[in-house]
Copies of this chain bind each other. A is one copy, B any other.
């Protein structure tokens, strides 16, 4: 499939058919992921692929538990703030279904950094991300090209202990994100909503924007 079509119709897929993703499709996605650049081509990554139901459930449960513990209505007295927080709770409730889909997606992929690509920045710093998230995007684009849906999440931050326990991660390995993967259920690939490119582009300095010809 043409690259531009792939890139322009990639969208977050959050509900999946129960059908497994064939192993050769997963290998093709992973093998495309690792073609992305990394600092000095150090490839400082490890790709955890989870299909085991009990492990997926444990990880999904840890995420849901963490989020529900943070119910923002619990201690709010001010009526104005209560209404605002109610909206958050509705969002959370919708998201809660999504946590369920973490548990029920046919596959979870957890890309991890195994080290920093250069000694002068920390593995948990923004710049370390330059050596993993490009590969993650390659993976998700490959999925879209093959009809496989995915959604980038950083829910790994709500389940660090569970991830390490379930997947036996060495201490020095740092999960970068958590990606549920499967065939889309009731959702289609298609164009996404974005702010116009002119509104986020600056030419030769912050103050200069240009109209797109």
Contact = CB atoms under 8 A, between A and B. Distances in A.
Interface of A: 1-4, 6-8, 10-12, 23-24, 27, 30-32, 34-37, 39, 41, 43, 45-52, 55, 113, 118, 120-121, 123-130, 132-138, 140-142, 145, 151-152, 154, 157, 166-170, 173-174, 176-177, 192-195, 197, 200-207, 212-213
Contact of A47 (B35, B39, B154, B200): B200
Minimum-distance CB pairs A-B, first 9: A129-B129, A133-B133, A134-B137, A137-B137, A168-B206, A31-B197, A3-B6, A52-B204, A3-B3
Contact of A12 (B37, B140, B204, B207): B37
Contacts of A3: 1-3, 6, 141-142, 145
B124 A125 contact: yes
Nearest to A114: B200
Contacts of A152: 37, 130, 134
Given A35-B7, A168-B207, A133 B137 contact: yes
A87 to B, nearest CB: 14
Q: Which of A170, A173, A201: most chain B CB closer than 10 A?
A: A201
A169 to B, nearest CB: 6
Contacts of A212: 27, 31
A134 to B, nearest CB: 4
Contacts of A206: 46, 48, 167-170, 173
A140 B202 CA distance: 18
A194 to B, nearest CB: 5
A34 B206 CA distance: 18
Contact of A142 (B4, B24, B46, B202): B4
Nearest to A117: B154
A25 B98 CA distance: 38
A168 B152 CA distance: 32
Q: Which of A23, A35, A173, A205: most chain B CB closer than 10 A?
A: A35
